[in-house]
Chain A
Amino acid sequence: MHNVKRQSRSAIEARKAREKSQLDTFLALTDDVLRRKKSQDYSQEAFDVTTRIVRINPEFYTVWNYRRNILIKNVFPSSSPEEIFNLLVSELMLTMQALQAHPKVYWIWNHRRWCLERIPDGPGVPAEHDHEADAQGNDSPAADPAGWRKRCWSEEMRAVEKMLDKDARNFHAWSYRRYVLANSPTSRPLSSELAYTMRKIESNFSNFSAWHQRSKIYSKLWEDASSEEVRKAKETEFELVRNAMYTDPDDQSVWMYHRWLIGPGHDTEILNRESSVIQELLDEQPDSKWCMESLVHYKRLLLKNRRHEGQESSAVPESSLDALVDECLSLLTQLQTVDSARRKRYADIANDIASDRP
């Protein structure tokens, strides 16, 4: 149970008394549905019982299974494509109502996918039958055989956005969103998904789910992009993150996204630049844990790069490595005070760095 306030004994007894008739109804329905299921009753009446139950208790996964079996074994085989389409649309409506009351129930999201994937061809007929339509003198523009599917899948985007408007961190909704984006018959440009994550981030910088989605979309976009395009896009992102850092230096989502932008940190120039940006912020906010934490991380990447360069050209003087090590150790000492819950981690890192000292 999450976020339910503890009740007194008497409040619990009062609730039980209030819920008595609901309890009796639910138990009777449960007996009925399990008996019908056992006797392989796939009738409309049985279907209606499942509707009543999932409205009361959408967690009853066995009833969702039974409902799908009724559809598969009895309803679909005796229905026209249009009837199946209408039925699945009403299933989608039922699950939407259920999700509004229970936005985190896996079984509802699951049933929704199942329905969506079974939207039949229509309202047009598939190409190989087109001549029949012509022969009947049908001169209206040919209806799209994927029309129903397209309509339902684009409706899904609206539905999932509604869910994310209510709770912008609901990971079920985000997963479903990715599923719809990946499988929809009408493809949507990745740039519009970037714009969506931007809207979500602008309304709340702390929404790490949106930052996460943004990192995934960029990763996909950059698979086919030139290095110049990637560089430019990253510059825009650094700018965005910089603003967020200054707005709320304690918000870890922003720092994590920054770390993703830096990645393995092979670009020493960017590492140096971003380190000075963070150093400036630290000068203004001398106790900022995330400034220090990030600086240590980036300085360690610099150390790694310098050591690598040094191996190749012996151009890096020992003294500059030493200075970096000292800066890290000093930050780690401060971190052990500022963020004492994690002091052992900082001490471990300090040990690692010190033992690597040239």
Chain B
Amino acid sequence: MSQDSKLLIPLHVSYVQSLGENKDDLTYHLTAHLRMNAIYWGLTALCVMGHKDALNREEMIDFVMSCWDEEAGAFGAHPDHDAHILATLSAIQILVMQDALDRLDIPRVVKFILSLQQPSGVFAGDAFGEIDTRFTYCAINALSLLGRLSELDVNKTVDYFSKCRNFDGGFGSTIGAESHAAQVWVCVAALAILDRLDIVDQETLAWWLAERQLSNGGLNGRPEKLEDVCYSHWVLSSLAILRKLSWIDSEKLEAFILSAQDSEGGGIADRPGDMVDVFHTVFGVAGLSLLGYPGLVDLDPVYCMPAGVIEDLGLRKDWQALPRRT
């Protein structure tokens, strides 16, 4: 068995642990605007690999709370950065995974989230008003985790999603935008949370998603584009929600994800031979979990969090992963 044919869990765990030690690297500081997301990605990857405790819980929670933007009533990506829905969802997901929601001013953050909904039903990312179906997903996921979904105007929200649906069954970032696997996932997962998958043309969409697999096993995000490990999550999670994971070749995809590992330094890249990062690491590991890779913890494809955490909250939806192999 070659090194590449199995998941190098201990190496990936130490890779995630080492991410905070790159403070002498310019790239580390140029990505400060993603720090909160990166911690969520790292923690989720660790949870799926069964090493949740590899990062210190207290330090993590303290960092999350240090990113609270008191003026806006939500989280920024880094201390002193402005509040944004992207960082806010990641912060809430971390607090949920670490069972630390008691640290959060829930009414205030709910107020922030609800304030971002536009008359059309879509959500803005922050007070400056950029709109995107990604932000609507963030809002729905966060409200659901906080048990406050009842405060959402569901019809208005669903109406906007349905206007983003294209003839290929997919969804784009806004009305009129081209279908893109990552946007498909946010829309389908959001609709799953709202129990409104009835507005999805499921057969057409599952066809479009299955056609993302290329002959090298990897998945792309749009027709006639290159493969990339992160689509292992966007495409597979969407297929899992539609209960159609068997419509692609899981063995070839698994081999592709494993071939993008860095077998020296740990971590997973977008494709073989490239520089690794935590984003591709979590989405590679997430994909492997859905494919039933032995020894991994189940991932919930709707929330992109450990399935057990979502089950404990009573939020599990009717998705289907491949059976866990031993």
Chain A residues near B (Cβ < 8 Å): 1-7, 9, 12, 16, 19, 22-23, 26-27, 30, 34, 37-38, 56-57, 59-62, 65, 68, 106, 110, 113-114, 169, 171, 174-175, 178, 206-209, 212-213, 215-216, 251-253, 256, 259-260, 263, 340-342, 344-345, 348
Contacts and interface: CB of A to CB of B under 8 A. Distances in A.
A79 to B, nearest CB: 20
B155 interface: no
Contacts of B269: 1, 6
A1 B270 contact: yes
Contacts of A7: 275
Interface in B152-202: 166-168, 172-174, 176-180
A61 B83 CA distance: 10
A65 B210 CA distance: 40
Contacts of B274: 1-6
A341 B248 contact: yes
A169 B225 contact: yes
Contacts of B280: 1
Contacts of A345: 206-207, 210, 244, 246-247
Interface string B269-280: 110011111011
B223 A344 contact: no
13 contacts: A2-B228, A6-B273, A23-B29, A61-B33, A61-B82, A114-B128, A212-B178, A216-B176, A251-B224, A253-B224, A263-B167, A341-B215, A342-B249
B311 interface: no
Given A1-B270, A16-B25, A344 B247 contact: yes
Contacts of B223: 206, 208, 252-253, 256
A171 B24 CA distance: 34
A336 B210 CA distance: 14
Interface string B247-258: 111001000000
- Give the interface SS of chain B, mostly helix, strand, loop or mixed: loop
A57 B242 CA distance: 39
B249 A341 contact: yes
A171 B223 CA distance: 13
Interface residues of B, number: 58
A6 B276 contact: yes
A27 B80 contact: no
B217 to A, nearest CB: 8
B82 A62 contact: yes
A208 B222 contact: yes
Interface of B: 24-26, 29-34, 76-77, 80-82, 84, 126, 128, 130, 166-168, 172-174, 176-180, 206-208, 210-211, 213, 215, 222-225, 228, 244, 246-249, 252, 262, 265, 269-270, 273-277, 279-280
A256 B76 contact: no
A259 B176 CA distance: 18
B307 to A, nearest CB: 23
A340 B180 CA distance: 24
B80 A38 contact: yes
B247 A342 contact: yes
A1 B178 contact: no
Nearest to B82: A62
A256 B248 CA distance: 19
7 cross-chain pairs, A with B, having the tightest CB-CB distances, nearest first: A341-B249, A206-B224, A345-B247, A208-B223, A344-B246, A4-B275, A62-B81
Given A23-B26, A169-B225, A216-B176, 4 more contacts: A30-B29, A34-B80, A251-B224, A345-B206
A106 B130 contact: yes
Nearest to B86: A61
A345 B213 CA distance: 13
A101 to B, nearest CB: 13
A209 B178 contact: yes
Contact of A2 (B34, B178, B265, B270): B270
Nearest to B76: A62
A208 B178 CA distance: 9
A57 B78 CA distance: 15
Given A62-B81, A106-B130, A110-B130, A171 B177 contact: yes
A214 to B, nearest CB: 11
A62 B33 contact: yes
Nearest to B224: A206
A65 B275 contact: no
Contacts of B174: 175
A171 B247 contact: no
Contacts of B224: 206-208, 251-253
A19 B26 contact: yes
Nearest to B167: A260
B29 A1 contact: no
A16 B28 CA distance: 11
A341 B213 contact: yes
A174 B82 contact: no
